Amino acid sequence: MSSLTRHLVAAIVAATLLFPPHVSPSPARLALVSEIRHWTSREYTRVVIDLEGEARYEANFLGADPVRNLPPRIFIDIQGADLRDEIVRHPREVHNGLLTRVRAGRFRAGVVRVVIDLERESGYRVFDLSDPSRIIVDIDGGSPGTGQGSPIPEPSGKIVVMLDPGHGGKDPGATGPTGLKEKDVVLTIGRMVREKLSRFPDFEVGMTRDTDVFIPLEERTAIANKAGADIFVSLHINASRDRKARGISTYVLSRASDREALELAARENGVTVQKLSEVKFIIDDLSTYGRKKESLKLAKTVNDAIVRNISSRHGPVHDLGLKQAPFYVLVGARMTAVLVETSFISNRSEESRLRSQEYLETIADSVVEAIRYYGENGALARAGM
């Protein structure tokens, strides 16, 4: 292993921790590895190992072994687990220049080993999400020399924007007092933003979903990474047990800036606050992987634009400002990434605003304005990024 690679592996190697130590799965009830999924592009692969039940795991890296003719590989041992035979029989073939395949088997009784055969040594990180349990491996072939951790997409001449309307399908998100659903509102806003932003030739706009369909959080990030997006904007509507709560806030990935932010992220992640508190130690590491400074800049620009335009077109609005929280959908994003919580659907008067097409147009106009300002003022600094 070259010293550069060793450094890279040491720097990027993930937490091999998983489920907290006090979770000891009963030996009688093995967690089943039910599926292995992946998304891939030339410089990036995300592998997701789906588990039915919780288990401990450990991830390790092995350099190439020329004597035994073995490639460099990442292996993950999952304790107290079994797997479907179909997965043993059919390794996932990838062959994208980063890795050849993902294979799995019963390493010994009660231990499943998942092996990722690499085509070349690359940075990688491993983390886990819960409810449902899954282990995620991001393999990054992007330019390690920049020290940025953020790879440079192919220069297409366009700024690629990935819009992510939250929730969808079986997941309605938050619901208002008169039944308005977050998933429908954010889809409408997303379509409006795409329509408006696509008029500008500098921008290429994609959406993680443009129908009422459920997409797991880790897949949304993978879609943006795979597309080589420069900007990722996840669209949400806030909610609170306190029916008086109202206002606009915009988030970047980090530890929670306050209790409300933690509770919000837990709800958006579909996990308990307790579960989310247990994983926060990996978030500092993961958030530095993305473009945090750039994300803060964009988040402030988006938030200011929404607040300014709503107050001039629709009347007073509460500015909750720029915040930070461990949103799963932002974890592993390789680009400038923000999450907007635009109004409270749980607040009667804000829910009624969200039913108005003009109000949603205002939000969409503001997101477009902010992305254009950010993109065109060199904040993206394509030349030097």
Query: Using CB under 5 A as the criterion, which residues of the chain lie in contact with Zn ion when the complex forms?
Result: 166, 173, 236, 268
Q: Which is nearer to Zn ion, 18 or 174 (CB)?
A: 174
CB of 285 to Zn ion, least distance (A): 25
**Phi-psi map region of 100: left, alpha, beta (phi>0 left; psi -120 to 50 alpha):** alpha
- CB nearer Zn ion, residue 92 or residue 323: 323
The Cβ of residue 347 has, within 10 Å, a number of other Cβ atoms equal to 23
Closer of 123 and 173 to Zn ion (Cβ): 173
Residue nearest to Zn ion (CB): 236
Least distance CB 239 / Zn ion (angstroms): 8
Nearer to Zn ion (CB atom), residue 164 or residue 304: 164
**Smallest separation (angstroms) from Zn ion to the CB of 238:** 8
Residue 63, CA atoms < 13 Å, CB-side half-sphere: 10
Closest separation in Å from C-beta 343 to Zn ion: 12
- Between 87 and 239, whose beta carbon lies closer to Zn ion? 239
Determine how β-strand 123-129 pairs with β-strand 81-83: unpaired
Cα angle at 280 between 277 and 283, to 5 degrees?
Answer: 160
User: CB 330 → Zn ion: shortest distance, Å?
Assistant: 13
Nearer to Zn ion, 72 or 166 (CB): 166
CB 246 within 8 A of CB 318: yes
- Taking the C-alpha atoms of residue 164 and residue 252, their distance in angstroms, rounded to an integer, is 14
Q: How far is the CB of 204 from Zn ion (least distance, A)?
A: 25
